[in-house]
Structure 1
Amino acid sequence: MTTPITTSTTDSQMHNNIMAAGSRDRPPMLATGRYAQWRSRFLRYIDTRPNGDALRKCILKGPYTPTIVTTPAVPATEDSPAVPEQTTVETVMNMTPENRAHFESEKEAIHLILTGIGDEIYSTVDACQTAQEMWEAIERLQQGESLNIQDVKTNLFWEFGQFTSHDGETIESYYTRFYKMMNEMIRNNLTVATMQVNVQFLQQLQPEWSRFVKIP
């Protein structure tokens, strides 16, 4: 009798390990189908950095743009001539500590984002100019992936609902098709509250399936 494929559980655990790996020293890695978890963990990691607030601003609001500093005119006096109004661009030297931290954290934010993604989207993200643009590009890319994953899940649920034996099909063939479908559902993190199949029959065929079957 064929043994059910159980790599899905291993893959899921591997994804979780990858995402959590090096959480103290480096940001979590983005794993396929785990964007929502990665986003939350990445921002939590950012919060642990000494300049966490500044990094968040870079990622979610964009880099700090130096403002225009205007020095008002000074009228002439008996001892000094008039000084006209002067306009200069804000520099690191005259920024407030909060604005300076925001300004100086942009490169670090970019580095952390690029460290937390894989090669499959690296080139696309790296082409962005700011940490905020990178963050939004990752979201767009992963939303597209999520849509594809949702299509897969919808199809699997439909297949499950329509699953039945074929005319003249052997028990072995029926069981083989069923466990392949179940493993695919498990691999895509799908659970079914009530399975419209003969539970006792399936458990007799392969007792380990019982842990995937929830009887109300």
Structure 2
Amino acid sequence: MAAGSRDRLPMLATWRYAQWKSRFLRYVNMKSNKQKLRKCIFDGPYVMTEITVPAKPATTIEEAVPAHNVPKTYKNTTPEKHAYFDVKAEAIHMILSGIGDDIYSTIDACTTAKEMWIAIERLQQGESLNKQDVKTNLFWEFGKFTSRDGETIESYYSRFYKMINEMVRNKLKVATMNANPLALVAATQ
């Protein structure tokens, strides 16, 4: 990932959101318009509002014009606002270029770089937290696994088999197997 990092955006790898975020922001900081890019990503794009045009008194040639509002356009904003407005497309492109196909469809529905950034953060942190919760619950369940009063051996085996399959699916390994003799079965699967 380090090779060519000045020229290419880092790609978001599953379970590596913190590293991707750090590398992505370092990449943004190497750009000449880094302040505008960061502002667009974290604060949202420049929003065209309205400009108040002051009143003009009547002259011998023209009629009086009352004060009125006109929508801001690219033409009637300052060059500083032009640069901030122009960076919107670049920020969106950078974010979309740095994510994989697995979350592209979710993020592509967002209209601003800020919305995309928040959605990626929510998706990645949510998955990380959920994955950790699953692991914690499975280890707790494994450590406390016992038969229930009046439970048949078939029911006991079925519950145990489901728990072991879930642990295998989540790539979990149990370090100690002294607590439950059936855990030896899990080690061989």
> What's the TM-score, normalizing by structure 1?
0.61
Matched residue, 2:176: 163
Of 20, 40, 43 in structure 2, the residue corresponding to residue 61 of structure 1 is 43
| Aligned: 1:89 with 2:67 | no
| Aligned: 1:151 with 2:133 | yes
Distance between the aligned counterparts of 1:107 and 1:80, measured in 2?
42
Distance between the aligned counterparts of 2:181 and 2:28, measured in 1?
60
| Aligned: 1:50 with 2:32 | yes
Deviations 1:105-151 (A, max 9, x none): 11111111011001111111112111111111111111221113313
More displaced, 93-102 or 50-59?
93-102
Of 126, 131, 138 in structure 1, the residue corresponding to residue 108 of structure 2 is 126
Distance between the aligned counterparts of 1:26 and 1:118, measured in 2?
14
User: By how many angstroms is 1:100 displaced?
Assistant: 1.5
More displaced, 58-67 or 103-112?
58-67
CA distance 1:164–1:131, shift in 2 (3 Å): same
Number of aligned residue pairs: 157
SS of 2:177 mapped into structure 1: coil
Of 66, 77, 87 in structure 2, the residue corresponding to residue 105 of structure 1 is 87
CA RMSD across the alignment:
3.2
Distance between the aligned counterparts of 1:167 and 1:143, measured in 2?
34
SS of 1:87 mapped into structure 2: strand
8 Å Cα contact 1:21/1:28 also seen in 2:
no
Give unmatched runs, 5+ long, in structure 2.
Answer: 144-172
Distance between the aligned counterparts of 1:80 and 1:92, measured in 2?
27
User: By how many angstroms is 1:164 displaced?
Assistant: 3.4
Give unmatched runs, 5+ long, in structure 1.
Answer: 1-16, 181-216
Deviations 1:128-181 (A, max 9, x none): 111111111111111221113313553687678871347999xxx7xxx4xx9x
Distance between the aligned counterparts of 1:168 and 1:84, measured in 2?
89
Task: Point out the structure with the larger helix share.
Answer: 1
Deviations 1:56-86 (A, max 9, x none): 1221111111121111102224665423223
CA distance 1:48–1:38, shift in 2 (3 Å): same
Matched residue, 2:54: 72
CA distance 1:21–1:126, shift in 2 (3 Å): farther
SS of 2:123 mapped into structure 1: helix
Percent identity (aligned): 60
